[in-house]
Amino acid sequence: MKTILVPGGAGYIGSHTVLDLIKKGFNPIIVDDFSNSSRKVISILEELSGKEITFYELDVKNKEGLRRIFNENKIDAVINFAGFKAVGESVEKPLMYYENNLFGMITLLEVMKEFDVKNIVFSSSATVYGIPEKMPLVEGDPMGATNPYGRTKLMIENILVDLAASDDTWNIIALRYFNPLGAHESGKIGEDPNGIPNNLAPYITQVAVGKLEKLHIFGNDYDTPDGTCIRDFVHVNDLAAGHSAAINYLFSGNIGFEAINLGSEKGYSVLEILKNFEKAVGKTIPYVIDGRRAGDIAVSYADASKAKKLLNWETKYTIEDMCRDSWNWQKKNPNGFED
Ligand SMILES: NC(=O)c1ccc[n+]([C@@H]2O[C@H](COP(=O)([O-])OP(=O)(O)OC[C@H]3O[C@@H](n4cnc5c(N)ncnc54)[C@H](O)[C@@H]3O)[C@@H](O)[C@H]2O)c1
């Protein structure tokens, strides 16, 4: 059985991926410092999977701690989810983002190199396409960034390209996620942001559950059919399955560096998502239109043909499934993992 180290495995996408890895016959080991997640996730994952999960509470910037983990376990590959992800916060605290996201990744790569473990999947993002000129987004399109968070993803991808070029025994995949939505069907794990949510789905569900007063929609004067931004949403279970598929592909060897989009290839506007949530929740969700948010682009959706070709991956869940599952999680846990 292959052992996969999963830094950030207690977070939103990481926790769903850990369950998928177990389902596919891998042995995941979680490393997390709980800077943006709950300790409760570990026992919930054990309950949902029926397996004991090896877990270390550690900051991935702690090199000695990582060395201990690599000494104690025979690691075959790493999936690195550990990092900060809030765009607005990254604008206010850029050094905190550069320090955590870049140093975390570099420390991990250094220790992997020391232990000759050269298989890694990295959580990248559609944000690395910056301000695109055409849709759908294809992996070879020009890259850019509009905020410090996006620049950390872009810089890390560049580091990974350089690393693969310097030593052809590395197998590296950067998965560029589009917009994750949904939750595990049990409603026991899901997205639980700290403070006011940055992402659309938790914002909408927190309004629906009465924690927030109304949804703020940033701009309805974009060049789109209803004037609101259009995004490509992917169920978190589909994303999770994409990671297991990427791990299998890594083990086929001689990968070098590959960037792969994980998206549904469909675009939904903010108002369409709101309507879908209203159906799932069974009531009207109040909203207000605010001005455009700096750095937001009008439309973003993926060409996911590379994921289909290399990973045999495509999305299975519909937008209705995503809204239903996000709402199921929020309704059962109005205060997230604090409940
Ligand atoms: N959710 C999204 O919309 C989205 C989109 C594209 C890319 N991503 C990327 O995917 C990854 C996972 O995202 P998520 O939504 O699951 O975020 P998350 O915040 O829920 O999960 C990240 C996890 O990493 C942990 N962590 C952070 N810094 C750490 C450190 N130095 N050492 C150890 N653990 C640390 C946090 O405690 C958390 O459990 C992130 O890198 C994020 O940038 C997320």
Both ends of the chain: CA-CA distance in Å? Answer: 35
Predicted local confidence at residue 186, as pLDDT:
98
HEC string of the chain equals CCEEEEECCCCHHHHHHHHHHHHCCCEEEEEECCCCCCCHHHHHHHHHHCCCCEEEECCCCCHHHHHHHHHHCCCCEEEECCCCCCHHHHHHCHHHHHHHHHHHHHHHHHHHHHCCCCEEEEEEEHHHECCCCCCCECCCCCCECCCHHHHHHHHHHHHHHHHHHHCCCCEEEEEEECEEECCCCCCCCCCCCCCCCCCHHHHHHHHHCCCCCCEEEECCCCCCCCCCCEECEEEHHHHHHHHHHHHHHHCCCCCEEEEEEECCCCCEEHHHHHHHHHHHHCCCCCEEEECCCCCCCCECCECCHHHHHHHCCCCCCCHHHHHHHHHHHHHHCCCHHHC
Residue 22 lies in a domain: yes
Residue 292 lies in a domain: no
Predicted local confidence at residue 195, as pLDDT:
81
Predicted local confidence at residue 71, as pLDDT:
98
Residue 143 lies in a domain: yes
Predicted local confidence at residue 41, as pLDDT:
98
The number of the ligand 1 atom at minimal distance from the alpha carbon of 61 is 31
User: What is the residue whose two structure tokens read 């620049």?
Assistant: 151
Residue 328 lies in a domain: no
Residue 131 lies in a domain: yes
Number of structural domains in the chain: 1
Cβ–Cβ under 8 Å, residues 12 and 39: no
Whether 149 is a known active-site residue: answer yes
The number of the ligand 1 atom at minimal distance from the alpha carbon of 124 is 7
Q: Say which of 12, 97, 129, 149 is annotated catalytic.
A: 149
Predicted local confidence at residue 198, as pLDDT:
81
Q: Is 88 exposed, middle or buried (0-12, 13-18, 19+ CB in 10 A)?
A: middle
φ, ψ of residue 15 to 5 degrees: the values are -65, -40
Predicted local confidence at residue 295, as pLDDT:
83
Tell me the residue range of the domain where 138 lies. 3-181+234-263+301-315
Contacts of 81 (CB under 8 A, 6+ apart): 6, 7, 8, 9, 11, 13, 14, 17, 123
Residue 201 lies in a domain: no
Residue 293 lies in a domain: no
* Cα–Cα distance, 239 to 191 (Å, whole number): 14
Q: For ligand 1, is residue 180 a contact (CB within 6 Å)?
A: yes
Tokens at 280, concatenated: 């799932």
To test ligand 1's pocket by mutation, which of 32, 111, 300 has the most ligand atoms within 8 angstroms of CB? Answer: 32
Tokens at 302, concatenated: 């993926």
Strand partners, 231: 268
Residue 332 lies in a domain: no
* Cα–Cα distance, 128 to 323 (Å, whole number): 26
Q: For ligand 1, is residue 123 a contact (CB within 6 Å)?
A: yes
Could you tell me the distance, in angstroms and rounded to a whole number, from the CA of residue 14 to the centre of ligand 1? Answer: 8
Per-residue pLDDT of the chain (339 residues; tens, 9 = 90+): 999 999 999 999 999 999 999 999 999 999 999 999 999 999 999 999 999 999 999 999 999 999 999 999 999 999 999 999 999 899 999 999 999 999 999 999 999 999 999 999 999 999 999 999 999 999 999 999 999 999 999 999 999 999 999 999 999 999 999 999 999 999 999 999 888 888 898 999 999 999 999 999 999 999 999 999 999 999 999 999 999 999 999 999 889 999 999 999 999 999 999 999 999 999 999 999 999 988 889 999 999 999 999 999 999 999 999 999 999 999 999 999 986
User: What is the residue whose two structure tokens read 């080991």?
Assistant: 29
Predicted local confidence at residue 193, as pLDDT:
85
Q: For ligand 1, is residue 177 a contact (CB within 6 Å)?
A: yes
CATH of the domain at 127: 3.40.50.720
* Cα–Cα distance, 308 to 290 (Å, whole number): 38
Q: For ligand 1, is residue 36 a contact (CB within 6 Å)?
A: yes
